[in-house]
Amino acid sequence: MKNKITISVSILLYLFSMQLLAQNIIGKVTTASGTTLPGVSVYLDGTTLGTSTNDAGEFSLISTTKFNTSLIIRFMGYEDVILSNPYEKPFWNIVLQVKENEIEPVFIIDDGFTRKQKMQLFKEQFLGSNKEGKACRILNEDALILEFDKKNNRLLAKSYEPIQIQNDYLGYLVEFDLYDFYVLMNKKSIKSADVYQSMFLGTSQFIDNAKHEYQKINRDKAYFGSSMELFKTLIHNSWETKKFLLYEGKFAVNPTNYFKITNEEGLFKVEVKEQNNIGLKSKKFNVFLNLLYNKKRQSQIQFGTKEFFVDEFGNTSHRDQIIFGGDIGTQKLGNLLPLNYQPLKSE
């Protein structure tokens, strides 16, 4: 039986540059004709840090820390602007271009499955089928277009507006701009048991709307044992003080034999050392390892890249080439925390 492989990519663009002293991101947003635009949404991708322009079209985003992520400028009826290095300039003059009419004709195609069946699989692979995922509600389901590609046995999805997800378990409203989504099946099926691989890609904004203390406690539960904590453990070589164990097959191994970490002034370069007896027999780089968290939560991690970069927040590059299975593989958007999240306490 083939192992299921899942890819969950929540951030579209990553900036991996030198960490410098924090500074504000300041700018002004206008149309091509020079008209100022109030109420434009401005936020750091994957975080809770956002603001909107004032009556003069000006914005100032205050942050005590620099984040290796993009700045998104979004306003209805205009093309999004994505700044991959928002700290590059002391002041930004942003000109928004009117979005061309992208409404496409909708054809009713008989792909063999009902919308209800496709929506169920979409939610499982996008939100998650665990308690965190099941606690999420999509507030604008009608914006989603779902199609089963019978030729390639894939469920595809797109949305003409950001998907709004209320996560009642963690106390966040997430606006996710879906850029790409697919679920690859082992055969022509819509059943979750036949999923071989899934992936979603996009930008996100988190709005903290927690109303109960237990939601903040749940955030810590979601953090511990997550990929975010794993990558922090990796770059700081804190395996002994954390609850992660690394395995090659059934044998526990020393992580230093598999990873070389270089601190490049606050940004960590991770080099994966290929072992002769691991990975699939392929010309492509492929290293496959097992993880155990807290002596019971089992995961698999597959590296299709020889090197990648990690910042202090556990934000990584090459997320489409770092594939998780098992426990971490089941953690979808319902488990997703903002990049600026810090746990309330140590586990």
Q: Which residues pair with 181 in a beta bridge?
A: 200
Percentage of the chain with pLDDT > 90?
A: 69
Phi, psi of 103 (to 5 degrees): -70, 120
In the chain, the N- to C-terminal Cα span, in Å, equals: 35
Pairing mode, if any, of strands 25-31 and 92-96? Answer: parallel
DSSP single-letter state for residue 57: S
**Residue pair 69/45 in contact by the 8 Å Cβ criterion:** yes
Q: Which residue has the higher pLDDT, 166 or 286?
A: 166
pLDDT of 344 strictly over 70: yes
| Residue partners of 110: CB distance under 8 A and separation at least 6 | none
**Residue pair 304/322 in contact by the 8 Å Cβ criterion:** yes
Q: Which two tokens stand for residue 185?
A: 């099946």
Using CA of residue 206, residue 209, residue 213, residue 215, what is the dihedral sign? negative
**What is the layout of strands, in order, in the sheet containing 267-272?**
259-264, 267-272, 307-310
Give the model confidence (pLDDT) of 132-141 as tens digits: 999 999 999 9
pTM for this prediction: 0.82
Q: Residues 286-307: what's their mean pLDDT?
A: 93
Q: Residues 70-92: what's their mean pLDDT?
A: 93
Pairing mode, if any, of strands 136-138 and 71-74? Answer: unpaired
CATH number of 25-96: 2.60.40.1120
Q: Which helix (H) or strand (E) holds 29?
A: strand 25-31
**Residue pair 183/155 in contact by the 8 Å Cβ criterion:** yes
Candidates 336, 308, 335; CA nearest to 320 is 308
Pairing mode, if any, of strands 71-74 and 58-61? Answer: unpaired
Q: State how far the alpha carbon of 52 is from the alpha carbons of 36, 59, 265, in Å.
A: 13, 6, 32
Q: Which residue has the higher pLDDT, 315 or 120?
A: 120
* C-alpha angle 327-333-339 in degrees, rounded to nearest 5: 100
Q: Residues 253-281: what's their mean pLDDT?
A: 81
Output the DSSP codes for 73-88. Answer: EE-TTB--EEES-TTS
Q: State how far the alpha carbon of 177 is from the alpha carbons of 2, 211, 264, 281, in Å.
A: 31, 25, 32, 37
Give the model confidence (pLDDT) of 52-63 as tens digits: 999 999 999 987
Give the model confidence (pLDDT) of 237-262 as tens digits: 999 888 999 999 899 999 999 999 99
**Residue pair 31/37 in contact by the 8 Å Cβ criterion:** yes
**Residue pair 116/141 in contact by the 8 Å Cβ criterion:** no
Predicted pLDDT of residue 283? 66
Q: Which two tokens stand for residue 312?
A: 């202090």
SS3 147: strand
Q: Residues 310-317: what's their mean pLDDT?
A: 86
Q: Which residue has the higher pLDDT, 285 or 117?
A: 117
Residue spans of beta strands (DSSP E) within 141-274: 144-149, 154-159, 163-167, 172-185, 195-208, 244-248, 251-252, 259-264, 267-272
pLDDT of 17 strictly over 70: no
> How many residues are given for the chain?
347
SS3 7: coil
pLDDT of 14 strictly over 70: no
Q: Which two tokens stand for residue 340?
A: 């600026």
Give the model confidence (pLDDT) of 198-209 as tens digits: 889 899 999 999
